Amino acid sequence: MDDRKRSRGKKQLRGRNLWIFRLLLLLSAAGILLFGSLFLKEYREYRAADQEYASLREHIEVGTESGETEESAESGEKAESGESERPELKIDYAALQKVNPDFSAVLYFPALDLRYPIAAGKDNEDYMHRSFEGKSNAAGSIFLDAAASKDYSDLNTFVFGHNMKNGSMFGKLKLLLKDPGLASSNPYLYLCRPDGIRKYRIFSYFVTDVEDAVYRDVTEADYESYVERSLKRSAAPESSETGIDFTEKPKLLTLSTCSGPGSAGKRLLVQAALVEQWQEGDAQ
């Protein structure tokens, strides 16, 4: 009798173990399928975003010293920007405006080869997961802070973008942390609009919290203390020797992106000050 009970108990145990094994196998298969579908979805969206911006870059050409456009130059060398040099840009503003009436400006960051149109939505969710052409895409767009003046006349203007794994959007900003030489060799970025081009000099970049006071509005009264705090926090060793006269209160441009995977609530900021500008029609 005891032997029969033990035999029946072993069969029940084997059956239960087999059922658990099959359940685990099923869950593993479902997990693999889910992961695969998510990976495929992400890949397709990244690819669609890359293709879209590749077509948009045709409206934003960068010249070389020989006068050739970047697309026609075989050397691939980046143009260097001196203290008074205006970048050789050929931008079809009308075409970008036609693609998206929310077109605001073109951001050009030579050191990182960033060249993107900026959209200005009705709120900061508008272009979080929508491409410049208005298509649903996790990559979203580079967009102007909805609370900012559309003419970039605020003391500090924020521009947002995703930190994409493939380096698109603001995915390359983290390279500044890995190689400070990138910003020191060419510390300028440009904001290009139909009325002219504005040149900004990077003075600070650092990782902070999303709730940091750095995101608050800057006033005339606290401008210098705001800048001083940013300089002290900067990861750039040369940040205190930018040559920028902050007593003149030059307009600031701040690029903001998430800090990367596993850093929820963290943000990477790159801050720059206006050092020169050219009106449309000025001699190049």
**185-217 pLDDT tens trace:** 889 999 999 999 999 999 999 999 989 999 999
Average pLDDT over residues 248-264: 84
Report the pLDDT value the prediction gives residue 227, as an integer from 0 to 100. Answer: 94
Mean pLDDT over each residue of the chain, to the nearest integer: 80
Which residues does residue 267 pair with via DSSP β-bridges, in sequence order?
208, 258
Average pLDDT over residues 173-179: 91
**24-36 pLDDT tens trace:** 666 666 556 554 5
- Within 13 Å and on the Cβ side, how many CA atoms surround 22? 6
Who's near 74: CB < 8 A, 6+ residues apart?
A: none
User: Do 252 and 156 form a contact (C-beta atoms < 8 A)?
Assistant: yes
Average pLDDT over residues 55-61: 87
Higher pLDDT, 75 or 218: 218
pLDDT-above-90 percentage for the chain: 49
Average pLDDT over residues 146-172: 92
pLDDT tier for residue 48 given thresholds of 50, 70 and 90:
low
pLDDT surpasses 50 at 261:
yes
Report the pLDDT value the prediction gives residue 281, as an integer from 0 to 100. Answer: 61
Average pLDDT over residues 256-260: 83
Report the pLDDT value the prediction gives residue 77, as an integer from 0 to 100. Answer: 42
- CATH code: domain 97-279 is 2.40.260.10
Give the start-to-end residue ranges of the domains of the chain.
97-279
The count of residues in the chain is 284
Per residue in 7-39, is it b (16+ CB within 10 Å) or e — as a string?
A: eeeeeeeeeeeeeeeeeeeeeeeeeeeeeeeee
Report the pLDDT value the prediction gives residue 64, as an integer from 0 to 100. Answer: 47
Report the pLDDT value the prediction gives residue 56, as an integer from 0 to 100. Answer: 86
pLDDT surpasses 80 at 13:
no
**83-121 pLDDT tens trace:** 457 888 899 999 999 999 999 999 999 999 999 999 999
Q: Which of 47-51, 94-98, 276-280 has the highest mean pLDDT?
A: 94-98
Report the pLDDT value the prediction gives residue 204, as an integer from 0 to 100. Answer: 93
